[in-house]
Amino acid sequence: MSTRSETQLKQAFEAFTQGDAGSLIELLRDDAQVVSLERPLEKAHAYVRRGQSGLEEALKDCLTAGRPSKVQDVVRRGDHAMVVMHTPGLGAAPASYANPLRFYVLTMRDDRIASIRACESRGEAVALAQFA
């Protein structure tokens, strides 16, 4: 069985940052879920979307958030991958947005993305992806 390489995942995420959500959506399982971080004034909390339509909505929300992101790094080990995105200008926003890096952990099943989880920090992503 082939496995999605880091290069393939990076290409899909790069296409996504250029407005092509279809490349990333094609890699998603039908039952996949996206856990994003919504940031109310007081505290960040997780927001879960499931199924193909929920995932498409979540990904399109990311594209329309107003700040272009770039893929900085993709690392895959076994059933997990970590994607690091750099979003210029986040450091100029309120303190909760001070880090211009965003970390996402992908869980792969049958060579497709079963979940995408947004993390607060590299440490959280590394622990969740079991890269330690």
Q: What is the pTM for the complete model shown?
A: 0.79
Whether 119 is in a domain gets the answer yes
Domain residues for the domain of 120 are 6-128
Structural domain contains residue 1: no
pLDDT digits (tens, 9 = 90+) for 47-92: 788 877 777 777 666 665 666 788 999 999 989 999 998 877 655 5
Burial class (CB in 10 A: 0-12, 13-18, 19+), 30: exposed
Q: Is 25 part of any domain?
A: yes
Bridging pattern class, strands 28-38 and 101-109: unpaired
CATH number, domain of 62, equals 3.10.450.50
Total domains present in the chain? 1
pLDDT of 110 over the 80 cut:
yes
In a domain, 18, yes or no: yes
> How far is it, in rounded angstroms, from Cα 15 to Cα 21?
7
Which amino acid would we find at residue 8? Q
- pLDDT for the residue 114: 92
Phi, psi of 125 (to 5 degrees): -65, -45
Predicted confidence band of residue 45 (pLDDT cuts 50, 70, 90): low
